[in-house]
Structure 1
């Protein structure tokens, strides 16, 4: 089972090394789908506040009209040795696709995810979410410095 989790983690890490553009992304609206049974409601609310605070500290604004949706999705499966947790973050926004004619669609314009096999699922999940948020912030800084 560890081999499978390691293999999935490797592929999800490779998939997250992408070429999304974060130019002019300044205003966000946080949506979080948290299906983790090992977190109680207080921990879920605290996590959402911590994510918002970290993004605000990095300079993102919240509560504006026409904000880009910052999506956090958390789910897990219990296995013999602990939990396998899937964590994904992304930006979703309305864009216009040119496919013969212009079509307005909702699309992920940034996406990063990972899987982790956790013996201590709460602590490892919090650590991994913080790592993904930090990678997003670093990518945003890099794109907007140029």
Structure 2
């Protein structure tokens, strides 16, 4: 069985110039933990996870040189916090292969793209767990 059968096709994407505060606001409102960053043609540029947001907060705390948090955040955009050029898979990737990749690389999701790098969907560790539990 392939990833196509369990992936989420309707994914939320953002442009790289979206401000950090907007990314944070969206992430609070949605029931998932990953946002794909794409250009105007839906070509994948990166992935933002809830952990990426937290790492920016941690970075501010450790690198703070007297700058206020409210001054620091507006300087950041989705491009600043995303994981650029993430590892991807295609729709025909076997589910077992995607599972091994997530485990070995300690990823929480894999963007699903076509041969030109355009987004087809996303598969997360929860999608894989549901597959193994219910099939």
Indicate whether the TM-score tops 0.5. no
Whose helix proportion is higher, 1 or 2? Answer: 2
Q: TM-score, with normalisation over the residues of structure 2?
A: 0.26
Q: TM-score, with normalisation over the residues of structure 1?
A: 0.25
**Higher RCO structure (Cα 8 Å, ≥6 apart):** 2
